[in-house]
Structure 1
Amino acid sequence: MLAAYLTVTIVGAVFNAGAAVTYLIGHQYPLSQMDMKGLPRKYAPVLGGLLAAGTVGLLAGLAVPVLGTLAAAGLVLYFIGAIIAHLRVGSHDILGGIVFLATAVAALVLGVIHHGAW
């Protein structure tokens, strides 16, 4: 169980770190996605910051389990919101969001199984 928890947590941290960087450097892909959803571009650093915080929280959770639990839960909420935002504007391009959501859910579930909720 430890190997699965570590693998999913590290993969999730890498995924979210990459996504955070794309938002924080102003890469065109997340900006075009925000345009499609009708979100102001000024929120890109905020969304990138949330992803970065989730990344740091997942990694910190390896040492302090409650941080990992909270970070994974926050990422689950973030990606549920992202999927809803896509569906709200009629976009069915949600596979990436589903992969990120599944990774966050797996990190949350495996963390709770491995460490307990708190």
Structure 2
Amino acid sequence: MFAVYLVVTVLASAVNGLAAIANFIGHEYPRSQADKLGVPRSWMLPLGTLLAAGSLGLLAGFAVPVLGALAATGLVLYFLGAFGAHLRVRDYHFGPWAVFFSLAVAALAVNLTYHDPW
């Protein structure tokens, strides 16, 4: 079970970390998504910071399991907000969103399963 926990958590952390970097450096993809969704470009840095915090929190969860669970929960909520933003502007292209959301849900699931808080 540890191998699954390790792989899913590291993969989710890497993907979200790369997305955070893309926001920080002003890459074209997050900028075009923000424009399409009506999100002000001034939000790119705070949104990137949330992604980076989630990414680092997932890794911190190896040392302090509750941090990993909280980070994964935060990422799930972040991507639910992104889903709402897509629906608000009637953008139904959910492919990239589904990958990020699924990884966040999987990271939360394996964290809770591996550490069994009940």
- TM-score past 0.5 threshold: yes
Q: Can you give the 5+ residue segments of structure 2 that lack an aligned partner in the other structure?
A: none
> Aligned-residue CA RMSD in angstroms?
1.1
Contact kept in structure 2, 1:66 and 1:117, CA below 8 Å: no
Q: What aligned pairs does 1:24-35 form with structure 2 within 5 A after superposition?
A: 24-35=24-35
Offset at residue 117 of structure 1 (A)? 3.6
Give the drift of 1:90: 1.0
Size of the alignment, in residue pairs?
118
Residues 1:94 and 2:94 aligned together:
yes
Instruction: Find the aligned partners of 2:68 and 2:32 in 1 and give their Cα distance.
Output: 31
Structure 1 residues not aligned, in runs of 5+: none
How does 1:10-49 map onto structure 2 within 5 Å?
Answer: 10-49=10-49
Deviation string for 1:47-72 (max 9, x for gaps)?
00000000000000011101000000
CA distance in 2, matches of 1:117, 1:76: 19
SS of equivalent residue, structure 1 residue 103: helix
2:50 maps to 50
After superposition, give the CA deviation of every residue in 1:8-44 in whole Å (9 maximum; x if it has no partner).
0000011001100000111111111111111110000
Aligned partners of 1:33, 1:104: CA distance in 2, in Å? 20
CA distance in 2, matches of 1:94, 1:46: 22
Q: Runs ≥4 in structure 1, deviation > 2 angstroms?
A: none
State the TM-score, normalized to the length of structure 2: 0.96
Aligned to 2:73: 73
What is the identity, as a one-letter code, of the residue corresponding to 2:30?
A: P
CA distance in 2, matches of 1:79, 1:108: 13
TM-score scaled by length of structure 1 = 0.96
